[in-house]
Every structure is written in C-alpha cells, then in structure tokens.
Amino acid sequence: MSRVPRRWSLAAAALAALGGPPAVVGAQQQTTEPPTTMARPFRVGEQLRYQVRYGRIPVGHATMSVVGVEDVRGRPSYHVTFAIDGGLSGLQVHDRYESWLDTATLASRRHVQEIREVRYRRSTRYEIYPEEQRYRENDEDSLRTSVALPLDEGSFVYFMRTVRVPVGQTREFHQYFKPDRNPVVIRALRRDTVEVPSGRYPTVVVRPQIPARGIFAEGGEAELWFSDDAERVLVQLKTKFAGFSLSLLLVEFRPGPP
C-alpha cells in the first residue's frame, strides 16, 4: 500500500465493511448491481490494526480481519471481523462484529454482533437470505423482509472499498439489509494526504450516511480516509459522537498472501 459517557457503539463505524458502476457528476445514482467485475481490494489473511481516540485521548484499539472463505448454506463467503476494546474511566467497550459476504456478489449472508459496552450486553445473530430478500433475527420463527444484495454493519466498509466514487460525486445505495434504513449515501469529498501511526498516505475522503442512529447517522458527519491505490485500505476514520470527536488511526496493515 502506498505510503466513539453515552453508549458509543464504535464498531458500527469502522465497519460497516464500508464499498461498481460509473457515477453521474453532481447527481446521486442509485444502484444495486453486484461489483463482480472489479478485482477485490482485500484478500484472505488481511489484518488491520487501529488506535482508537476519544477526542485527543487514546482509549483503546481496534482490528479488522479477513479470516477466510467459509461455506454458508452452499455459498463460499468471506468471513470478516471487526473488534474494538477500550474505554474511559470505567466506561469499557468490548465489541465484536462478524460478517459473511458472498465471494461473488459481496451480499451479506450472516451477521453476528457481540456487544459489551459498560453495563450494556447484547448478542445478536442474523441469517440473511439474499435470493429471497429475507432475514431472520436470532431464533425467530418468521422471516423479515430484506433487500437485494444486502449489506450489514460488518460488511459495509469492505463494500465501500470496491466502490470508486469520483471526487465531488455522490452515490446512493438501497442495500442495507433492514429496508427502513435505506438509502445509504456515499459522498466522495476530496483527496487528502494524512499521517497516521503506520505512515503517510495519499487518500480519498468519503462521507457515508445511513438513516439510523450511530456513527454513520446524518448528524455525525463521519469521514473515512481510504488509501488512494488499488488496496483502498481504511487509513483513518473520524466522526462526532456524544459531543466528542472519535477517531480510528491505522497502526499496522498486513495484506493477505497473494
């Protein structure tokens, strides 16, 4: 590669694999086409490690990994993980998000959340059926309505890495697996060169927005810095959350073996 005192669920932020066809200048383009023609910018074995800052204070660390390719109901799927550990003054956070993405379409087929934030505890498992546009939450008997080529919090960052929105343009997606939280909007704001613990990188700055609470909510003004190269690594993330600036800064990048 070229050189989050209120519950702060940071995990939905770095992920969200936050990533295609060409966009229209100065307009929003809607798309649900699978990005099957673009070479994947990530490989099995890839690992990224981040420092987490709340304001200017280091408060923990986060990791993103492409664990492997696993079978989910007969379909090969990338198993990706995002984990965060840290906190301030007893406000400890230990979150883990896992997603299984179809290797051909990047549609989410399974999503698991293990959230441990201060006194809040939640374990949730989603089985997602892209062909049926349905999903199941935990052990519910009935299926809920979903969308075509669904994405979840854990897959969104990886998906964003496959989408090249030209600077100054906007793209709109109706692919979040819960239909009432669509559309997801991605704006390519500018090019920037940033310095983080792992080095100095030319980047493209992207602003995602999801009509829901959390770090990618419209009022949070989240910005993500992706390396301006073939690997499109998430170098830095900044957002406003609970009145503070929350950041992830890349400490180490280990690409997967060829």
Q: 29, 35, 17: which is closest to 169 by C-alpha?
A: 29
Structure tokens at 232: 């499109």
Domain boundaries, the chain: 11-251
Bridge partners for 83 per DSSP: 63, 96
Bridge partners for 234 per DSSP: 226
Q: Cα–Cα distance between 225 and 249 in angstroms, integer? A: 10
Task: Give CA angle at 128 (127, 134), nearest 5°.
Answer: 120
Q: What letter does residue 3 receive in the DSSP assignment? A: -
The dihedral built from the CA positions of residue 235, 63, 159 and 18, taken in this order, carries a sign that is negative
Q: Cα–Cα distance between 127 and 104 in angstroms, integer? A: 18
Q: For residue 171, what pLDDT is reported?
A: 95
Q: 13, 11, 14, 17: which is closest to 163 by C-alpha?
A: 17
Q: For residue 1, what pLDDT is reported?
A: 66
Q: For residue 142, what pLDDT is reported?
A: 94
In 102-210, which ranges are continuous DSSP H helix? 156-161
Strands (E), the chain: 28-31, 47-54, 57-72, 75-88, 91-102, 108-117, 120-129, 134-137, 144-145, 170-173, 184-196, 199-209, 223-227, 234-241, 244-254
Compute how many other C-beta atoms are within 10 angstroms of the C-beta atom of residue 11. Answer: 26
Q: Which residue has the tokens 């991605």?
A: 186
| Tens digit of each residue's pLDDT, the chain (258 residues) | 655 333 334 444 333 323 322 222 334 444 444 444 357 899 999 999 999 998 888 999 999 999 999 999 999 999 999 998 887 777 778 889 999 999 999 999 999 999 887 788 889 999 999 999 999 999 999 999 999 999 998 888 899 999 889 999 999 999 999 999 899 899 999 999 999 999 999 999 999 887 655 444 445 578 999 999 999 999 999 987 656 688 999 999 999 998
Structure tokens at 16: 């969200």
Compute how many other C-beta atoms are within 10 angstroms of the C-beta atom of residue 66. Answer: 21
Q: Which residue has the tokens 């500018």?
A: 190
Q: For residue 118, what pLDDT is reported?
A: 76
**Residue 55 falls in which region: left (phi positive, over 0), alpha (psi -120 to 50) or beta:** left
Q: For residue 243, what pLDDT is reported?
A: 64
Q: Cα–Cα distance between 240 and 202 in angstroms, integer? A: 23
User: First and final CA of the chain: distance in angstroms?
Assistant: 14
Q: For residue 17, what pLDDT is reported?
A: 29
